[in-house]
Amino acid sequence: MKKIGVFTSGGDAPGMNAAIRAVVRTCFYNNIQPYGIYEGYKGLIEGDIHPLTSKDVSNIIQRGGTFLKSARCKEFHTKEGRQEAYNNIKKYELDGIVAIGGDGTFTGAKIFNSEFSIPFVGLPGTIDNDLFGTDYTIGYDTALNTVIEAVDKIRDTANSHNRLFIVEVMGRDAGFIALRSGIAVGAEAILVPETQTYINELVTKLESGTKNHKNSMIVIVAEGDDAGGAYKVAEKVKEHCPNYDSRVTILGHIQRGGSPSAMDRVLASRLGNAAVDALLANKTNIMIGVVNNEITYIPFSKATKHHQKLNADLLKLAEVLSF
Are 12 and 92 within one domain?
A: yes
> Would 175 be classed as within a structural domain?
yes
Q: In CATH, what number is assigned to the domain containing residue 216?
A: 3.40.50.460
Are 214 and 274 within one domain?
A: no
**Band (173; pLDDT cuts 50, 70, 90):** confident
Q: For residue 74, what are the domain limits? A: 3-139+260-305
> Would 323 be classed as within a structural domain?
no
> Would 77 be classed as within a structural domain?
yes
Are 265 and 129 within one domain?
A: yes
Average predicted confidence (pLDDT) for the chain: 90
Residues 179-190: pLDDT tens digits? 999 999 999 889
Are 298 and 184 within one domain?
A: no
Are 172 and 240 within one domain?
A: yes
Residues 84-115: pLDDT tens digits? 999 999 999 999 999 999 988 999 999 999 99
* H or E element at residue 50: strand 49-51
Q: In CATH, what number is assigned to the domain containing residue 34?
A: 3.40.50.450
Boundary of a domain, candidates 256, 278, 295: 256
* pLDDT at 306 (0 to 100): 61
Domain tally, the chain: 2
Catalytic residue among 128, 130, 141, 264: 128
> Would 317 be classed as within a structural domain?
no
| Lowest mean per-residue pLDDT among 88-97, 117-126, 168-177 | 168-177
Look up the pTM and report it: 0.92
> Would 313 be classed as within a structural domain?
no
Catalytic residue list contains 128:
yes
> Would 18 be classed as within a structural domain?
yes
Are 242 and 291 within one domain?
A: no
Are 124 and 269 within one domain?
A: yes
> Would 316 be classed as within a structural domain?
no
* pLDDT at 90 (0 to 100): 96
Are 271 and 123 within one domain?
A: yes
Burial class from Cβ neighbours inside 10 Å (0-12, 13-18, 19+) for residue 298 reads buried
Phi-psi region of 248 (alpha: psi -120 to 50; beta: other; left: phi over 0): beta
Are 57 and 109 within one domain?
A: yes
Amino acid, res. 231: Y
Are 11 and 132 within one domain?
A: yes
* pLDDT at 210 (0 to 100): 63
Contacts of 151 (CB under 8 A, 6+ apart): 167, 181, 185, 187, 218, 220
Are 12 and 120 within one domain?
A: yes
Are 281 and 135 within one domain?
A: yes
CA dihedral 64→276→112→83, nearest 10 degrees, is 90
> Would 107 be classed as within a structural domain?
yes
CA distance 279 to 277: 6
